[in-house]
Amino acid sequence: MSIFTPTNQIRLTNVAVVRMKRAGKRFEIACYKNKVVGWRSGVEKDLDEVLQTHSVFVNVSKGQVAKKEDLISAFGTDDQTEICKQILTKGEVQVSDKERHTQLEQMFRDIATIVADKCVNPETKRPYTVILIERAMKDIHYSVKANKSTKQQALEVIKQLKEKMKIERAHMRLRFLLPVNEGKKLKEKLKPLIKVIESEDYSQQLEIVCLIDPGCFREIDELIKKETKGKGSLEVLNLKDVEEGDEKFE
């Protein structure tokens, strides 16, 4: 005896559900796990690789498909592919508690990795290990935010850790080559953006080797281009001014 499945029901397994409320009703789409983030970041461009089906549901877990009149009322169209795109882009991703916990743990490690990669002990110029940064983040009770990028949160962590330990962004080492006439005047404008001037040489051009905070790089680059009208140049000698070996933090 065959079992009759209603035509308005679709059974799906191992799905990531993206949900959106519109016109007082809930609409859901069924996606492949780990593909939603790729679509939103632009890495994945093939919709068929993201959607398990081009159907819009009121409840994915029960396989209940949305009615045509409800779609038109909420979205102004019954084109399910276009509605899927809207929900995929703006909807809320539903994840289980276990998945959320795993995701937050991974983000915690990723944030610690970024901080360890970008920072040093300012006194010794030695980098901290990822494990040490993770321990320090736990000490300040840092809470990961799922809706913010790991890079944004790494900058927040650096600010908070500065209150508890000796840590700062590793400096970049740059070389400026500036026309002599504009160079002296421009040097005064650059001074507030420079941490340490390591050497200066006045010959055919003004050559300066210095250390800067990475956050000032774009401002310095634009200032040199503007003030020298393209005659000056900027060269990155080292992305990170660090000493060999890891810093120990007791």
Q: Which CATH number is correct for 16-94, 2.160.10.10, 3.30.1250.10, 3.40.50.20, 3.90.850.10?
A: 3.30.1250.10
Q: According to the model, what pLDDT value does residue 5 have? A: 45
- Alpha carbon distance 17, 67 (integer Å): 18
Q: Which CATH architecture fits 171-238?
A: 2-Layer Sandwich (3.30)
| Domain assignments of the chain as residue spans, ordered by start | 16-94, 97-168, 171-238
Q: How confident is the model at residue 109 (pLDDT cuts 50, 70, 90)?
A: very high
Is residue 6 over pLDDT 60? no
pLDDT value of position 2: 45
Is 97-168 a CATH 3.50.50.60 domain?
no
Q: What is the pTM of this model?
A: 0.58
pLDDT at 69: 93
Higher pLDDT pick, 1 / 87: 87
Is 149's pLDDT higher than 70?
Answer: yes
pLDDT at 250: 40
**244 has a pLDDT exceeding 60:** no
